[in-house]
């Protein structure tokens, strides 16, 4: 009998194109749920999304947010805990659209989420079709455990930057480390440069 | 509440909510490494709600980039441990008292 429980084997996806897998990652067919706290469950009738800080403040209700133009996105995602998932499909509103509705001067943003989670991003990394506030995954409303009703999707960076349950983007003129970044994770998080920890 | 109320869209159940949490005994080894002594029977007091519990009763989230320990009463973060390369970053600022 194997000393290793079958339950602890990773479910690798076969035949993954190695050129799509960043260093140190493995491809999974699952969509692992990572969470540092209880899953928030904000009903869409109570949900709002705001941009504040170095910007003219703006708040959308769920209905207003959903009335904005949205895009279908197929992309690979890469978690710092070493799993990658290929060809994930999302629907969301680009940050170009959202930030285009406010006058702003910020060069960084700090995303604030239900549950208190935060993460930081350069504004340059969320414009030009690089980031979305996603509300559908795989053709269905985004499940709470994956960040529903809506989460950030910034697939060119490690997935902790794609904050679940996002509710507000605070625009700032300097970089402010978020939750994991303040505990030693990399401020930027490029999976292709394997920027997992500070100093990488 | 009417099922047709679009504002009341219910979110899917979270099947991982209960299975994703453990109690403080699950990190007894980590705590021993960090503190150099058995910690699960030590009492800690939450800095948010004031509840005193044994460390072994704390709620622990391991399926994350780090280990997050929360108050079993109010869910406030009590401790965070992140192992990065050859060092462990420890934050105990959520505790009003330990020991």
Distance CA A3, CA A143 (A): 35
Q: Which among B11, B80, B87 is the nearest to A41, CB-wise?
A: B11
In a domain, A37, yes or no: no
Shortest CA distance to A133 belongs to which of A87, A95, A77, A89? A95
Q: What is the CATH number of the domain that holds A150?
A: 3.90.420.10
In a domain, A36, yes or no: no
Which DSSP helix (H) or strand (E) runs through A95? Answer: helix A95-99
In a domain, A8, yes or no: no
Alpha helix segments (H runs only) across chain B = 28-35
In a domain, A54, yes or no: yes
In chain B, what residues touch A185 (CB-CB under 8 Å)? 65, 82, 84
Shortest CA distance to A118 belongs to which of A165, A76, A52, A77? A165
Q: Which among A44, A145, A184 is the nearest to B9, CB-wise?
A: A44
In a domain, A178, yes or no: yes
Q: Which of B64, B80, B92 best tests the A interface by mutation, with the highest count of A CBs <10 A?
A: B64
Residues of chain A with pLDDT > 90, as a percent, come to: 90
Give the residue extent of every domain in chain B.
Answer: 21-98
- What's the total number of domains in chain A? 1
**Site of tokens 């800690």:** B44
A138 in B contact zone (CB under 8 Å): no
In chain B, what residues touch A117 (CB-CB under 8 Å)? none
In a domain, A13, yes or no: no
pLDDT in tens, A31-89: 999 999 999 999 999 999 999 997 789 999 999 999 999 999 999 999 999 999 999 99
Residue ranges in chain B whose pLDDT is less than 70: 1-19
Cβ contact A183–B82 (<8 Å): yes
* Structural domain boundaries enclosing A141: 22-31+42-193
B3 in A contact zone (CB under 8 Å): no
pTM of the model: 0.89
* A102-128 b/e (C-beta count within 10 Å ≥ 16 → b): bebebebbbbbbbbebbbbbebebbee
Residues 6+ apart with CB under 8 A from B26: B60, B62
According to the model, what pLDDT value does residue B2 have?
A: 32
In chain B, what residues touch A44 (CB-CB under 8 Å)? 6-9
A26 DSSP β-pair partners? A83
pLDDT in tens, A102-125: 999 999 999 999 999 999 999 999
Cβ contact B84–A34 (<8 Å): no
Which DSSP helix (H) or strand (E) runs through A71? Answer: strand A71-78
Q: Is the ipTM of this complex over 0.95?
A: no
In a domain, A64, yes or no: yes
């Amino acid at each position: 009998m194997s000393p290793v429980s079958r339950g602890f084997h990773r479910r690798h996806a076969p035949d993954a194109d190695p050129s799509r897998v960043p260093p140190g990652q493995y491809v999974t067919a699952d969509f692992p749920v990572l969470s540092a706290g209880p899953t928030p469950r904000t009903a869409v009738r109570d949900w709002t999304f705001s941009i504040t800080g170095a910007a003219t403040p703006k708040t959308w209700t769920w209905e207003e947010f959903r009335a904005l133009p949205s895009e279908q996105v197929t992309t690979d995602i890469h978690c710092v805990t070493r799993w990658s998932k290929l060809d994930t499909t999302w629907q969301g509103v680009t940050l170009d659209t959202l930030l285009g509705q406010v006058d702003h001067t910020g060069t960084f943003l700090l995303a604030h989420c239900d549950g208190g989670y935060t993460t930081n991003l350069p504004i340059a990394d969320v414009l030009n079709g690089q980031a979305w506030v996603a509300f559908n995954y795989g053709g269905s409303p985004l499940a709470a455990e994956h960040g529903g009703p809506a989460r950030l999707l910034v697939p060119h960076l490690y997935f902790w930057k794609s904050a679940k349950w996002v509710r507000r983007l605070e625009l700032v003129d300097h970089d402010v480390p978020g939750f994991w970044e303040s505990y030693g994770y990399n401020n930027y998080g490029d999976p292709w440069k394997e920027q997992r920890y500070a100093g990488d | 509440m009417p099922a047709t109320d679009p504002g009341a869209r219910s979110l899917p159940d979270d099947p991982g909510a209960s299975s994703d949490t453990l109690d403080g005994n699950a990190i007894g080894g980590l705590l021993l490494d960090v503190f150099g002594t058995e910690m699960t029977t030590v009492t800690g007091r939450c800095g948010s709600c004031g509840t005193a519990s044994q460390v072994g009763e704390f709620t622990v989230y391991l399926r994350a980039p780090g280990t997050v320990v929360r108050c079993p009463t109010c869910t406030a973060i009590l401790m965070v441990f992140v192992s990065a390369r050859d060092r462990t970053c420890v934050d105990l600022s959520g505790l009003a008292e330990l020991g």
